[in-house]
C-alpha cells in the first residue's frame, strides 16, 4: 500500500519571522518536501492561549505574540509583514497555504451565527489572496473548534478542512459535525483511517502525531512506526514557534531547540527512507479522490 505523509505547521501570522521557518525547514526544502502552512489572516494581539501547557501563570497571550503587542486589541493582517510574504511567495510550490481561522480566537469557528462565520471566512480568504495571490483550498480551525454550521459553510468554499484526533465515537468530535457527516466519520473510524469524504469535501484528521517541546521523540518514533503499518495517510502536526519556546521565560526567543529539531529531522528522514510520499493537501486530495 502506498503511504502518504502530510507535514502541517500552524500559526504563521503577521508576527512570524521568516528566519524561524528557514531554520526549521532548511533541510526539508533541500529534500523537496512540501510543507502545509496554516496561516492566520488577521491575528489579534490580545488573543489568550487556551493551552494549559503555555499558561502556567494564568491566562496570557498566545506565546507566538510578542509581549509588546499582548495588550493590543487590534488585528494585524498578514500582508503587512512584507518580509514574510516575500519569503512564502518565493517558496511557491513548497508551501501550500491553509487558512488558519481568522484571528485565532478559540471559539471563532464554533459559533452558531451564520453571518459572523461567513464574514470571518470570506474576509480571511480575501486577506490571504491579497498577501500571496493564492486562494486557499483548505481550512484549519484554531484548536479544531468547529460547529456543525461552520462545516456546512466550509463545504461551499473549500475542498476540505483539518480535524483533530479521530477517536471512536468521541462525543466532542461528534458535536462538531453536521448530522450529514456523522456516518462518514464513523466509517472512517471503522476503517482506521485518518480522513473521510463527505460528498467531495475532505475532512483530514490525525492520530496525535504532534511535535512540541514536551514530545518524547522515542515514543513518537514508536507511534509513528505503528501508524505507518496501519494507515494510508500519516499526518504530522506542529507549530513553528514551539521550536523556539523558552519555557522558563514563557516566551519565544531566537535560539532553536536543537534536540527537538534533530528529532524532527530524524522522523522525516525515516518516513522518506521507508517510501512515504510527502504531499500538499491539494495533492493528497487528488490522490484520495482518484
Secondary element (H or E) of residue 11: strand 4-12
- Does position 52 have pLDDT exceeding 70, yes or no? no
Residue-wise pLDDT tens digits, 206-256: 888 999 998 999 999 999 998 899 889 999 999 999 999 877 666 787 899
Dihedral of CA atoms 288, 188, 170, 37 in degrees, nearest 10, equals: -10
C-alpha 265/C-alpha 275 separation (Å) is 16
Secondary element (H or E) of residue 61: none
Residue-wise pLDDT tens digits, 111-133: 999 999 999 999 999 999 999 99
Residue-wise pLDDT tens digits, 56-114: 555 578 889 988 888 888 999 999 999 999 999 999 999 999 999 999 998 999 999 99
- Which residue, 249, 243, 191, 203, is CA-closest to 24? 243
The angle at the Cα of 216, spanning 62 to 237, to the nearest 5 degrees, equals: 50
130 vs 89, 109, 136, 281, CA distance in Å?
A: 12, 22, 11, 21
- Does position 180 have pLDDT exceeding 90, yes or no? yes
Residue 51 — φ and ψ, nearest 5°? -100, 115
119 vs 38, 101, 123, 153, CA distance in Å?
A: 19, 12, 6, 11
Which of 2 and 194 is assigned the larger pLDDT? 194
- Cell matching residue 222: 514508536
Whole-model pTM over 0.85: yes
Q: Is 42 helix (H, G, I), strand (E, B) or coil?
A: strand
CATH fold group of domain 4-289: TIM Barrel (3.20.20)
Which residues does 245 contact at the CB level (< 8 Å), separation at least 6?
54, 63, 213, 251, 252, 253, 257
pLDDT > 90 in the chain, percent? 76
b/e 194-218 (16+ beta carbons within 10 angstroms → b): bbbbbeebbbbbbbebbbbeebebe
Selection from 200-209, 245-254, 276-285 with the highest mean pLDDT? 276-285
- Cα 146 to chain centroid distance, Å, stands at 14
Q: Where are the beta strands (DSSP E) in 166-286?
A: 195-198, 201-206, 210-211, 233-239, 245-246, 251-252, 277-278
pLDDT > 70 in the chain, percent? 95
What is the DSSP-derived secondary structure letter of residue 208? S
Burial class (CB in 10 A: 0-12, 13-18, 19+), 226: exposed
Domain locations in the chain?
Answer: 4-289
Other beta carbons less than 10 A from residue 154's beta carbon:
22
Query: How many Å is the Cα radius of gyration of the chain?
Result: 18
- Cell matching residue 236: 504530522
255 vs 66, 160, 225, 243, 251, CA distance in Å?
A: 15, 35, 30, 8, 12
Place of cell 514530545: 215
Amino acid at each position: 500500500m502506498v503511504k502518504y505523509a502530510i507535514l502541517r505547521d500552524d500559526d504563521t501570522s503577521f508576527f512570524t519571522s521568516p528566519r524561524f521557518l528557514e531554520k526549521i525547514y532548511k533541510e526539508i526544502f533541500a529534500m523537496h518536501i512540501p510543507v502545509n502552512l496554516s496561516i492566520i489572516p488577521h491575528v489579534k494581539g490580545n488573543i489568550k492561549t487556551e493551552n494549559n501547557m503555555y499558561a502556567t501563570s494564568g491566562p496570557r497571550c498566545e506565546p507566538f505574540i510578542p509581549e509588546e503587542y499582548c495588550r493590543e486589541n487590534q488585528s494585524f493582517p498578514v500582508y503587512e509583514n512584507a518580509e514574510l510574504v516575500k519569503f512564502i511567495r518565493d517558496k511557491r510550490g513548497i508551501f501550500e497555504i491553509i487558512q488558519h481561522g481568522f484571528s485565532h480566537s478559540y471559539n471563532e469557528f464554533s459559533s452558531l451565527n451564520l453571518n459572523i462565520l461567513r464574514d470571518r471566512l470570506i474576509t480571511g480568504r480575501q486577506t490571504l489572496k491579497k498577501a500571496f495571490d493564492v486562494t486557499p483550498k483548505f481550512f484549519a480551525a484554531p484548536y479544531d473548534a468547529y460547529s456543525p454550521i461552520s462545516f456546512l459553510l466550509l463545504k461551499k468554499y473549500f475542498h476540505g478542512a483539518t480535524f483533530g484526533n479521530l477517536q471512536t465515537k468521541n462525543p466532542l468530535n461528534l458535536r462538531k459535525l453536521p448530522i450529514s457527516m456523522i456516518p462518514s466519520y464513523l466509517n472512517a473510524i471503522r476503517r482506521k483511517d485518518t480522513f473521510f469524504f463527505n460528498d467531495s469535501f475532505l475532512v483530514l484528521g490525525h492520530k496525535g502525531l504532534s511535535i512540541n517541546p514536551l514530545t518524547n521523540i522515542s515514543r513518537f518514533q514508536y507511534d509513528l512506526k505503528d501508524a505507518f503499518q496501519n494507515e494510508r495517510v500519516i499526518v504530522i502536526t506542529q507549530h513553528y514557534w514551539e521550536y523556539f519556546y523558552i519555557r522558563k521565560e514563557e516566551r519565544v526567543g531566537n535560539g532553536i531547540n536543537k534536540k527537538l529539531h534533530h528529532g524532527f529531522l530524524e522522523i522525516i528522514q525515516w518516513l522518506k527512507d521507508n517510501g512515504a510520499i510527502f504531499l500538499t493537501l491539494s495533492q493528497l486530495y487528488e490522490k484520495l479522490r482518484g
